[in-house]
Amino acid sequence: MAAKDSFSLKLSHLGAVPQYFFKRELVPFLADLRLAIAILLILALFSISGTLIEQGQSIEFYKTNYPEKTALFGFLSWKVLLTLGLDHVYRTWWFLALLILFGSSLTACTFKRQLPALRWFSRTWNFYTQPRQFQKFALSAEFNQADVEKLVPLLQQRRYQIFRQGDSLYAHKGISGRIGPIIVHVGILVILAGAIWGALTGFIAQEMVPSGKIFQISNITDAGPLATSQIPKDWSVKVNRFWIDYTPEGSIDQFYSDMSVLNQDGKEVKRKTIHVNEPLRYRGVTLYQADWAIAAVRVKLNNSPIFQIPMAQLDTGTKGRIWGTWVPTKPDLSDGVSLVAKDLQGMVLVYDMAGKLVATVRTGMSTQVNGITLAVKELVGSTGLQIKADPGIPVVYAGFGLLMLGVLMSYVSHSQIWALQQGNQLFMGGRTNRAQVAFEQEFLAILDQMGKENQAASPTSETATLN
């Protein structure tokens, strides 16, 4: 028995050590404001590094731009850069660790500092009963002849909430200014939680789909470890039509994709025309208009049926995008022409086997090449879709709401005024936490009005502070 007792005692003691460490060491360390400022500034510095060094490029890129021989600042060669993860700053373990420290510091500060302080300010028995208590205020005054009853309407006019107990008066306004910072901190924590949840359960996919095709989401580019259930398997999407509106000057006005969501039986359950800034949402998955390409060209040779021939993007370096294909003009494929287009406005260039421009055709028109009539019926566009599911979004948005509400509330200055009547003497003191200048004006105006009222009531009486 005794052995067992001492064992359990040891156990509880073992449990107490971390608890002691947590309460006496860890929490005060995390709640320290100097740590908070350091974290904020270090986060800023780390973020700057990610804007100065190109993110997410190939190893060759860093090898050329950060050579070992002439390392930047004498140390920043591509090897150092890649080892530190400076090519993907915002996903490195040290950046994420700092974010976790940031979250812990916020939590500790909220519970250790803000909530206790709020409890203190929200209690209503905050009265002063001794004249000497007023001496500490920068803004304080005493009247030899004044009545606290005269003060009450002046404070009410200025929307103060008034509490009285015997000869003492306490009035305050703007308590929301004390609650605001707490809501800010909670809002940031909610955003961080939502971001983590989204990273674990969300996925991103990209699809390039020609007009008229049906597709299921399959080209997943990024998925969290818990994302499998999010990826839709029981519905597909049909791109009814993709088109581009051009301005009269020929630049792109807007991209549109007319899309239908189909259930397992191929029946349409939702239809919407999307464009940039106007995505399609279905069951937590959102499809955004992101990119476009030319998928194919529909041509007719003499009296043939209409052929749809795929077009491929040609490599131009970085000098704009063009698409091309080859159309045979002889049954044995021994001769043909190349068709090249740069957008969906309808102009197609026709080149012969020697690479010479032989004709330009608009869609719907035809031309004579190699002795046959080539009619270009249509250019078929593909829509580039960015597809995303992020179950963390509602949480993040809730955090955004709290954060905005919190920062707005935090602008309010919490003003407090104390008064004490002792016989004919009235002592007044006041303070505010933020708007010192505005509060000084308000407090002096109150004193001024009190002084005037005193003079009106008893013209012969002498007030000590207001003359």
Partner 1 sequence: MDLVRLQNILDNTSFAILFITMLVYWVGAAFPRLPYLAMLGTTGMAIANLCIAALLGARWLEAGYFPISNLYESLFFLTWGVTAIHFIAENMSGSRLVGVVTAPVAMAITAFAALSLPQDMQESAPLVPALKSNWLMMHVSVMMLSYATLMVGSLMAIAFLVVTHGQNVELKGSSVGTGAYRDKNYQLHRAGEAVNGSTDPSTEAMDSGGVATAVIAPPAPPSISSAPPAPLSPQRLTLADTLDNISYRIIGLGFPLLTIGIIAGAVWANEAWGSYWSWDPKETWALITWLVFAAYLHARITKGWQGRRPAILAATGFLVVWVCYLGVNLLGKGLHSYGWFF
Residues 48-107 that bind partner 1 (CB under 8 A): 48, 50-51, 55, 90
CB atoms within 10 A of CB 111: 15
**Least distance between partner 1 and beta carbon 288 (Å):** 5
Contacts (CB under 8 A) with partner 1, residues 155-174: none
Separation of alpha carbons 123 and 432, rounded Å:
17
Question: Is there a contact between 388 and 231 (Cβ–Cβ < 8 Å)?
Answer: no
Question: In angstroms, rounded to a whole number, what is the distance separating the alpha carbons of residues 176 and 462?
Answer: 39
Q: Is 119 in the site for partner 1 (CB under 8 A)?
A: no
Residues 433-452 close enough to bind partner 1 by CB under 8 A: 433-438, 440, 443-445, 447-448
* Minimum distance from residue 150 beta carbon to partner 1 (Å): 18
Closest separation in Å from C-beta 377 to partner 1: 27
Binding to partner 1, residues 222-281 (CB under 8 A): 247, 249, 251-255, 275-277, 279
Check: CB of residue 312 under 8 Å from CB of residue 318: no
Q: Is 176 in the site for partner 1 (CB under 8 A)?
A: no
Instruction: Report the distance separating Cα 399 and Cα 192, nearest Å.
Output: 8
**How many other CB atoms sit within 10 Å of the CB of residue 342?**
16
- Does 142 bind partner 1 (CB under 8 A)? Our answer is yes
Radius of gyration of the chain (CA): 37
What residues contact residue 237 under an 8 Å CB cut-off, 6+ apart?
209, 214, 215, 216, 217, 259, 260, 261, 262, 287
Q: Which of 293, 432, 450, 454 binds partner 1 (CB under 8 A)?
A: 432
Of 311-370, binders to partner 1 (CB under 8 A) are none
| Sole window of 153-161, 177-185, 227-235, 337-345 interacting with partner 1 (rule: CB under 8 A) | 177-185
Residue 126 tokens read as 């905050």
> Residues 361 to 390: which contact partner 1 by CB under 8 A?
386-388, 390
d(CA 67, CA 61) in angstroms, rounded, equals 10
Tell which one of 139, 151, 295, 361 touches partner 1 (CB under 8 A): 139
Which one of 397, 424, 452, 457 is in contact with partner 1 (CB under 8 A)? Answer: 397
Residue 255: helix, strand or coil by DSSP?
strand
Question: Does 177 participate in binding partner 1 (rule CB under 8 A)?
Answer: yes
- Residue 201, SS3 per DSSP: helix
- What strand order describes the sheet that includes 336-341? 312-314, 322-328, 336-341, 347-351, 357-362
- Is residue 297 a contact residue for partner 1 (CB under 8 A)? no
Task: Answer whether 338's CB lies under 8 Å from 326's CB.
Answer: yes
Q: Which stretch binds partner 1 (CB under 8 A): 1-9, 227-235, 286-294, 327-335?
A: 286-294
Choose between 210 and 429: whose C-beta lies nearer to partner 1: 429
Q: In whole angstroms, how close is the CB of 142 to partner 1 at the nearest point? A: 5
The amino acid at residue 185 is H
Closest CA to 414 of 391, 430, 390: 430
Nearer to partner 1, 190 or 337 (CB): 190
Q: Which of 408, 422, 457, 461: binder of partner 1 (CB under 8 A)?
A: 408
410 to 429, contacts with partner 1 by CB under 8 A?
410-411, 413-414, 427, 429
CB of 103 to partner 1, least distance (A): 14
User: Considering the complex, what minimum distance in angstroms separates the CB of residue 346 from partner 1?
Assistant: 20
DSSP letter string over 324-364?
EEEEE-STTSSSEEEEEESSTTSEEEEE-TTS-EEEEEETT
Closest CB to partner 1 among residues 314, 438? 438
Residue closer to partner 1 by CB (options 44, 333) is 44
In the complex, minimum distance from the CB of residue 354 to partner 1, in angstroms, rounded to a whole number:
39
465, 455 contact by CB (below 8 A): no
455 touches partner 1 by CB under 8 A: no
Q: Which stretch binds partner 1 (CB under 8 A): 58-66, 228-236, 298-306, 458-466?
A: 458-466
Sketch the per residue contact string, 189 through 208, with partner 1: x for CB under 8 A, - otherwise: ------x--------x----
Output the smallest distance, CB 434 to partner 1, in A: 5
Q: For residue 250, with 0-12 CB atoms within 10 Å meaning exposed, 13-18 middle and 19 or more buried, which class applies?
A: exposed
At 58, list the tokens: 């190939």
Measured CA to CA, the distance from residue 143 to residue 458 in angstroms comes to 13
Report, in Å, the least distance between residue 26 CB and partner 1: 20
By CB under 8 A, residue 33 contacts partner 1: yes
Q: d(Cα 380, Cα 242) in Å, to the nearest integer? A: 8
User: Which residue in 242, 288, 323, 418 binds partner 1 (CB under 8 A)?
Assistant: 288
Instruction: Closer to partner 1 by CB, 301 or 388: give it.
Output: 388
Rounded Cα–Cα distance for residues 391 and 266 (Å): 26
